Amino acid sequence: MSADLIALAYLVAAIFFILALKGLSSPLSARRGNLFGMVGMTIAVGTTLTITQNWTLILGCIAIGAIIGSIVAQRVQMTAMPELVAFMHSLVGLAAVFIAIAAVNNPVSFGLPEMLPTGSKLELFLGTFIGAMTWSGSVIAFLKLSGRMSGAPVIFTGQHMINLTLALVMIGFGLWFFFSETTNWPAFIAMTAIAFLLGFLIIIPIGGADMPVVISMLNSYSGWAAAGIGFSLGNPMLIIAGSLVGSSGAILSYIMCKAMNRPFLSVILGGFGSEGGSQGAADGTQKTYRSGSAEDAAFLMSNADSVIIVPGYGLAVARAQHAVNELAEVLHEKGVNVRFAIHPVAGRMPGHMNVLLAEAEIPYEQVLEMEEINSDFSNTDVVLVLGANDVVNPAANVPGSPIYGMPILEAHKARTVIVVKRSMAAGYAGLDNDLFYMDKTMMVFGDAKKVVEDMVKAVNI
């Protein structure tokens, strides 16, 4: 295939990638967006194969990856999607590191001069640095999300100073690598090792419940790693695709930081979620709350005109999405207007609740984002909170609170609130939730799936 045709094919693939992002902006067009992405990737991979000489090796690797991917896709539950996404991000970062190592070892095979120019060294440094950080950071995110490592922030004295020192040392090794007349393997290995360590140190102070921002941030990192390697290899497709992923991930991270009232820079530098998390949940006074049964909750909802359901991470843990869909259906049959309110950072990854509700085949028009539905809470008869805590905490409106200024779903403005939780434990911010102690609130304790199934039975009676 000629160079002009290759460039044209890559351009077409890039257009499909852009259409894919556009399609993924709405649940109604998400299926079409995925299709565009698949077509674009097929064109990109097919075009790359036409300029590949070792077909046996490439096709063998593709076959191995396809088999492993198919097995993983069939076995992984929808509730385990956050850790799967983190695992996939780690592979992108590791691939960038391996490509950089191969390019430094044998630059001629990548179409580069035997003596790497400073510009190529800079590109390889950036790809290696971001890729290594993405890999180690994603591994920590995977371990936290899968429960193999405590989700609590790991904080120690001088953490930020250590990170800064390591970053400066890594830059020093990078400069040594840039300006060496020959391939400086000691400098390259040292800066790569420090990058791996930095990725680890940046993610460990982030609490497991703050993972939505981490996942989108690592997604951005993986894109920039691919773009950096694309520059080194002179591959426009890698540059375009990596830039799309990097920029979209960065924008999503910024949006989610706003949704949690956190500075974007603090996420990039690490330590996000460490401020205020240690504050106690109790203020020394004994508070009283009203509890009830699933049958009591079912009676309230079946006699209401409008119900808003607020899903949280507890819904994902209990795998209660199908039971919730059944509850919504039986309430609809009784003439109740049922809708779902989604907070941007509910769950453990961007769009986590949207994914779960879509998997349960809940109609898209019933699922509304925070900005769309917040004004409706004051006119709603019953709000059902399932496994959510800080995203409905009125303390966000109280000056001096650790979560002050964080946009929340205003469930406290509804006429009646039903909260399904396993216990009265505080949320990840370490704060008591005043919503639970309001006269209008009824607590229903238990596993979310079992409680909702009991609600369905009671509504059907």
Cβ–Cβ under 8 Å, residues 217 and 267:
yes
Core vs surface per residue 420-451: b (16+ CB within 10 A) or e: bbeebebbbbbbbbebbeeebbbbbebbbbeb
For the stretch 156-192, pLDDT in tens is 888 889 999 999 999 999 999 988 888 899 999 999 9
Instruction: Kindly report the CATH number that applies to the domain delimited by 294-460.
Output: 3.40.50.1220
Tokens standing for 347? 């769950």
For the stretch 215-243, pLDDT in tens is 888 889 889 988 888 887 788 888 999 99
Q: Is the pTM of this model over 0.85?
A: no
pLDDT band at 429 (very low <50, low <70, confident <90, very high): low
* Helix ranges (DSSP H) in 289-430: 294-302, 313-318, 321-333, 352-359, 370-373
pLDDT (0 to 100) of residue 304 = 95
pLDDT at 282 over 60: no
Residue 432 appears among annotated catalytic residues: no
pLDDT band at 448 (very low <50, low <70, confident <90, very high): very high
pLDDT (0 to 100) of residue 269 = 59
Tokens standing for 297? 């909750």
Mean pLDDT of 127-154: 86
How long is the chain? Answer: 461
* Domain coordinates in residue numbering, the chain: 1-75, 80-269, 294-460
Among the listed residues 390, 432, 447, 454, the single catalytic one is: 390
pLDDT (0 to 100) of residue 273 = 46
Mean pLDDT of 441-446: 94
pLDDT at 297 over 70: yes
Contacts 24+ apart (CB under 8 A), 261-267: 261/396, 261/403, 261/404, 261/405, 261/406, 261/407, 262/213, 267/213, 267/214, 267/217
Mean pLDDT of 92-112: 88
